[in-house]
Amino acid sequence: MQAHLNQFLEDVEKSDRYSQNTIAAYKNDLGQFYQFATSQLNATDWNEVTSDKIALYISDLQEKGYASSTIARKIAAVKSFFSDLHDQKVVSKNPTLKVESPRVQKRTPQPLSPEEVDRLLKAPRSKQTPKNLRDAALLGVLYSTGMRVSEVVSLKFIELDLEQSVLHCENGDGHGRELPLDEETQMLLQRYIERGRPGLTRHGEQEFLFLNHRGQQLTRQGLWLIIKSYAKEAGLKTAVTPHTLRHSFAAHKITDGTNLQEVQQLLGHANISTTQIYAQRDKK
């Protein structure tokens, strides 16, 4: 995979069609995509990168706070790269043909309605298997805390304090925050820990709270697929990602009258202007 990327970048650099700034952007953007594909998606061949996985990459960029114009540029680079791979017959299909870049204008996040959230959260509760108990707790945590997908999959077992009804969430920048758990989410977590998680553990104790079927840390891709599956099961017509639940959490908190600064703290936003998007939406 690295060899194909290096060859493409070398061809770009040799071409007289690109400025030095464009060449530098290609190197940065495709280098970032390569790291995501190999480390987060565990891809070992470019044929393994599907349109759904590229959509997951876009979701990851949005979660990290990149501007829509920056994301559009990065995806344009990915599209050029895969177009070249397809021309060279390195990949059998070009996965970017169905991928739409985000609109450059800044859009207000579109949350689910409370009724749609309720349908989604209830979807995994039809069964009491270890997987369903995990998924019920997982969706409950995502919506009731507004955590980022990266934060949820990185949660460690010791960061859950059921006695105090809080989750200790590390932001990744050396700063953490305590997130309160409502009674229902606390109950779902208790069931998962007592009756679900032991059935997922395969090789002794695991430090992470949410485990996959192999008893290992749940990945971002795994979480994304879980939500996509339950959204379909719940009959939701709109596209739902882990970040959709974060949007819904924030929008519903604002609607219910929660102080803007409190929502900012719960979301872990460094700048309150990011949180104000939800307040502006609520006024429409």
Cβ-based neighbour number of residue 202 at 10 Å: 12
Q: What pLDDT score does 109 carry?
A: 62
- Specify whether 277 is located in the same domain as 183: yes
- Specify whether 150 is located in the same domain as 205: yes
Q: For position 44, which CATH number holds? A: 1.10.150.130
Condensed to tens digits (0 to 9), the pLDDT of residues 47-90 reads 999 999 999 999 899 888 888 888 989 999 999 999 999 999 99
Residue 105, domain member (yes or no): no
- Specify whether 208 is located in the same domain as 249: yes
Q: Is 145 within 8 Å of 167 (Cβ atoms)?
A: yes
pTM over 0.75: no
Show the domain range for 166.
Answer: 114-282
Residue 104, domain member (yes or no): no
Q: Which of 69, 98, 127 is the last residue of a domain?
A: 98
Q: Which of 98, 128, 146 is the last residue of a domain?
A: 98
Q: What pLDDT score does 269 carry?
A: 82
Q: Is 215 within 8 Å of 206 (Cβ atoms)?
A: yes
- Specify whether 174 is located in the same domain as 238: yes
Structural domain count, the chain: 2
| Residue 255: pLDDT over 80 | yes
Q: What pLDDT score does 268 carry?
A: 86
Q: What pLDDT score does 107 carry?
A: 55
Query: Encoding tokens for residue 75?
Result: 């995806």
Measured between alpha carbons, how far is residue 149 from residues 89, 177, 199, 240, 272 in Å?
A: 35, 15, 23, 13, 20
Q: What is the dihedral of CA 149, 151, 154, 155, to 10 degrees?
A: -120
Mean pLDDT within 18-27: 86
- Specify whether 71 is located in the same domain as 185: no
HSE of 53, CA atoms in CB hemisphere, 13 A: 19
- Specify whether 129 is located in the same domain as 89: no
- Specify whether 80 is located in the same domain as 198: no
Q: What is the mean pLDDT of the chain?
A: 89
Q: Which of 98, 131, 158 is the last residue of a domain?
A: 98
Q: Reduced to 3 states, what is the DSSP secondary structure of residue 161?
A: strand
- Specify whether 70 is located in the same domain as 41: yes
Residue 107, domain member (yes or no): no
- Specify whether 189 is located in the same domain as 246: yes
Residue 35, domain member (yes or no): yes
| Residue 168: pLDDT over 90 | yes
- Specify whether 215 is located in the same domain as 79: no
Residue 218, domain member (yes or no): yes
For the chain, give the percent of residues with pLDDT over 90: 64
Q: For position 234, which CATH number holds? A: 1.10.443.10
| Residue 203: pLDDT over 90 | no
- Specify whether 78 is located in the same domain as 122: no
pLDDT category, 100, cuts 50, 70, 90? confident
| Residue 23: pLDDT over 50 | yes
Of 276 and 56, the one with more pLDDT: 56
* Angstrom distance (rounded) from CA 219 to CA 64: 16
